[in-house]
Structure 1
Amino acid sequence: MSHSRTVEIEGHIIDSGTMQRCFGAVMDLGGSFDVEQFDVGTHEEAESYCRMAVSADDAETLQAILHELHQNGAMLENPTDVDLVSAPADKVVPPNFYSTTNHPTEVLYDGEWIDVERIEMDCALVVEPHGAPDGGPRAYTKVLNAVEEGDLIATDQSGIRVRPPERPRSGGGAFGFMQGGVSAERPSNSTIREVAAELREVKAAGGNVMVVAGPAVIHSGAGDALADLVAAGYVDALSVGNGFATHDLERSLYGTSLGMDVETLEHPRKGHKHHIWTISEIIRAGGIEAAVEDGIIGEGVMYQCVKNDVDTVLAGSIRDDGPLPDTITDAVAAQNAIRDQAHEADIVLMLATLLHSVAVGNCLPSTTKTVCVDINPATVTQLLDRGSAQAVGMVTDIGTFVPTLAEFVLDADEPIDESVESAGASGE
């Protein structure tokens, strides 16, 4: 016995590749489809519309196909209101709860479509019938550990509409739709120029720039350039770990990073102890801000973040020495702090840190512009695969990227030295 449902898809579904993905999903999962209506938009602003019947040999296969189509923006014909079930206990969601994507999402409640706030992947979708400021309904995401008994949780996917980002009607430059490709051969100079231009545009529009950075930024000698960007107001939020902050503070105290002189590349006697001595001094001072105020720390990224009131989150790790007193050692608390930063960001720079960047990427909507830079192409690929539709991936030495970016941003009106070569996987 064949099982069948009719779905509808509309928007710029041809040039954005939506139809290709939907057709492929049906076939790959063992189903079949019959296109009943296909209206093709014939000019730049016109949208297309497709209605098709999807069939499978059993209900389970059909449900899997419908789920995949839903992720790509398809809707069941004649949708009904979202199905809501009360959470039976704190941190417990109903069976078959709807797990969110990172795409813009709407729910149908009381006959009206409502935008879902704080969109993020792998969350529960909660509806409050009178939660909006005007007393109307409100929909938003909650991570599972934040679910409270009695929360009205969306189940299945009925009455839920996903809006995957579509190809923009105008050119997107380096941030063009689904750039996604990662190559060491990409011309670094021109790409960094476009990233710099985007940073300036975001700040000019009052937007928010978030930086996610690993210790390699300091160890490679790029810390001064990042500090310059912070001082100039081009960083609103910094998300790092205990290691990054320790390296940066060690540089201010001893001129070394993990015991190595960043300028001469020499290893001073007892330099291997500098990082733990640094942590001790910051603990003695009462924290990073106190160390800056007392004059113990007088330069570097963390110094500039304190001086310029940058929202800074240090997320702890099981590997941390010390850690610094500013480090959030509770993993859930650290997630929530990062989540608050990510939801405010208009553009995110992910610099030479895989695990921290993945953590932030999990919190980002697919519409947030993202720049991923690492010497390892596998790192960049994994970060871009988290789902951003507007991403730039660069395989290059972080010690080349950050200073060049700072030069292009801060000297936008000055001639730039064109001798800076494209940096490949070797960073040369």
Structure 2
Amino acid sequence: MTFTRTVELDGHIIDSGMMQQAMGIVMDLGGDFDVEQFDVGRQKDEPSYCRMSVSADDRETLQEILHELHQIGANLTDPVDARVEASPADRVVPVGFYSTTNHPTDVRYQGEWLPVEDIEMDCAIVIEETDDGPRASTKVLNGIEEGDLVVTDEAGIRVKPPERPRDASGPFGFMQGGVSSERPSESLIEEVAEALRETKADGGNVLVVAGPALIHSGGGDALAELVREGYVDMISAGNGFATHDIERGLYGTSLGMDMETMEHPRKGHKHHIYTISEVIRAGGIAEAVEEGLIESGVMYECVKHDVPYVLAGSIRDDGPLPDTITDTIEAQNAIREQAHRADMVLMLSTLLHSVAVGNCLPSTAKTVCVDINPATVTQLLDRGSSQAIGMVTDIGTFVPTLAEKVLEADDDNDDN
């Protein structure tokens, strides 16, 4: 006996490789397909459309194939209402619950398609009845409450991956090439700067995810300038980043190394713990700025210009600073709130924080990940952040060059 369902793909399915992926999935999982309709877009900005029937010898295999096709944006042509089931207990989801991608998603409920709010990968979809009608949103497993109406299976779910046109048009422009350490970094940084300016001009929010290496490599002043000039709306980092940024202002060192001479002064290795102690004595970073203890740096500019920051702690942290969130779940929720508001994200030389933020981002957020270590960049992309572009380069060169190009454009506009 053969089991068959029909799916459709539309958009730039040839340029993005979606068509090839779909056929590969069916064959790799032991199924068969028949292309019933295939309309090829003949212009660069013209989408394509494919309808194909997918079959397998048993229902389980067909379901597995449909699940994999669904993840890349292939949707059933005969949608039905999503299946929902009440959660039996707090933090317990029904068996077979639908686990989200990070792509824009709709769920069909009571005959209508509802956009899923706050989309991110690896979450459940919960339907909530409100005075204004039903709404759908994501919830992490830890946030599930007894009685929540949780969507199960793929039925009634529609996923829409970002478009990938042939040219550099569309929402991602230059972001077509994945990871690169060979493309001319100067021109690519200029394109990142242009995307940053466009995001701000359109009223979007820019989130910077920063690691301590940014301070060690001398990029702190440039990032502080971008904060001061209004190009950074939020910062996500850890205890180490903030500590070494403040240490540099207090002692001229970062992790004990003199930032001017690149030497290690006597007792320099104690500067970071002295820094933490002084900030604790003041009551926090904002209090230390107000009393004049902190007079420069990224954290100083954040306080002075009301730029919110999340410092997520780890088991390794010294101190930590009073502002550092040491509760893991609380830190996740704070990061998640930032990620949901971000239209563009710069991930600067931090593997753990980049992956953490990347897990919370929708695929519609422009994401640039920069690190001297290729593993950091590839791990982010492998994790599922298909919208990210990776640059393998020195962060101490990237950030100052980016700031220079962003602010140069401002000067040119002022002259005109």
Measure, in 1, the Cα distance between the counterparts of 2:223 and 2:188.
18
Tell me, yes or no, if structure 1 residue 262 matches structure 2 residue 259.
Answer: yes
Higher alpha-carbon deviation: 348-357 or 2-11: 2-11
Question: What is the rounded CA distance, in whole Å, between the counterparts of 1:366 and 1:88 in structure 2?
Answer: 31
Paired with 2:408 and 2:11, the residues of 1 have a C-alpha distance of 41
Q: Distance in 2 between matches of 1:197 and 1:44?
A: 23
2:123 maps to: 123
Percent same amino acid at aligned positions?
75
Task: Name which of 352, 360, 363 aligns with 1:363.
Answer: 360
Paired position in structure 1 for 2:79 = 79
* Residue of structure 1 aligned with 2:156, choices 156, 159, 174: 159
* Partner residue, 2:141: 144
2:48 corresponds to: 48
Verify: 1:379 aligned to 2:370, yes or no: no
2:179 is paired with a residue of what secondary structure?
A: coil
Residue in structure 2 matched with residue 241 of structure 1 by the alignment? 238
Give the Å deviation of 1:42: 4.0
Per the TM alignment, residue 73 of structure 1 is displaced from its structure 2 partner at its CA by 1.6
Other-structure match for 1:18: 18
Q: For the residues of structure 2 that align with 1:179 and 1:82, how far apart are their CA atoms?
A: 34
* TM-score, with structure 2 as normaliser: 0.95
Could you give the per-residue CA deviations for residues 272-295 of structure 1, whole angstroms, max 9, x where no partner exists? 001011101000100000000000
Q: Report Cα offsets for 1:171-208 as digits up to 9, x if no partner.
A: 24994476243222110110111111111111112110
Give the AA of the match of 2:210: A
Question: Are residues 1:338 and 2:335 paired?
Answer: yes
**Within 5 A, what are the aligned runs for 1:204-283?**
204-283=201-280
Distance in structure 2 (CA, Å) of the matches to 1:381 and 1:323: 30
Residue 112 in 1 paired to residue 109 in 2? no
**CA, structure 1 residues 208+222, in 2 after alignment: closer, same or farther (shift >3 Å)?**
same
Alpha-carbon distance, 1:389 to partner: 4.3
Whether the aligned pair in 1 keeps the contact of 2:174 and 2:191 (CA below 8 Å) is no
1:19 CA displacement? 1.1
Amino acid in the other structure paired with 2:190: R
Further displaced range: 199-208 or 282-291: 199-208
- How far is the alpha carbon of 1:384 from its aligned partner? 2.6
Q: Counterparts of 2:292 and 2:331 in 1: how far apart (Å)?
A: 28
Structure 1 contact 313–337 (Cα < 8 Å) conserved: yes
1:316 equivalent to 2:313? Answer: yes
Tell me, in whole angstroms, the C-alpha distance in 2 between the residues paired with 1:96 and 1:361: 25
- The answer to whether the Cα contact below 8 Å between 1:82 and 1:157 also exists between their aligned partners in 2 is yes
Of 383, 394, 397, 2:394 maps to: 397
SS where residue 27 of structure 1 aligns? helix
What is the match of residue 102 of structure 1?
102
Matches of 2:251 and 2:44 in 1, distance apart? Answer: 59
Q: Is the 8 A contact 1:366 1:387 kept in 2?
A: no
Asked if 2 retains the 8 angstrom alpha-carbon contact of 1:297 and 1:303, the reply is: yes
Secondary structure (helix, strand or coil) at the match of 1:303 reads helix
Distance in 1 between residues matched to 2:46 and 2:397, nearest whole Å: 43
Asked if the contact 1:225–1:406 (Cα under 8 Å) also holds between the matched residues in 2, the reply is yes
Q: Distance in 1 between matches of 2:198 and 2:37?
A: 42
Q: How much has 1:9 moved relative to structure 2?
A: 2.3
CA distance in 1, matches of 2:42, 2:179: 32
Number of residue pairs the alignment of both structures matches: 412
- 1:368–1:388: 8 Å Cα contact kept in structure 2? no
Displacement of 1:223 in angstroms is: 0.5
Aligned to 1:423: none
1:38 aligns with 2:35: no
How far is the alpha carbon of 1:37 from its aligned partner? 2.5
Q: CA deviation at 1:76?
A: 2.2
- What is residue 404 of structure 2 aligned with on the other side? 407
For 1:369, the aligned partner's letter is: K
The Cα of 1:53 is off from its aligned counterpart by 1.9
Segments of 5+ residues of structure 1 without an aligned counterpart are: 416-428
184-193 or 122-131: bigger deviation = 122-131
Amino acid at match of 2:219: A
Query: Gaps spanning 5+ residues in structure 2: where?
Result: none
Note the C-alpha offset of 1:144: 0.6
Could you tell which deviates more after superposition, 18-27 or 236-245?
18-27
Q: Structure 2 CA distance, aligned partners of 1:66 and 1:226?
A: 45
1:48 Cα deviation (Å)?
Answer: 3.1
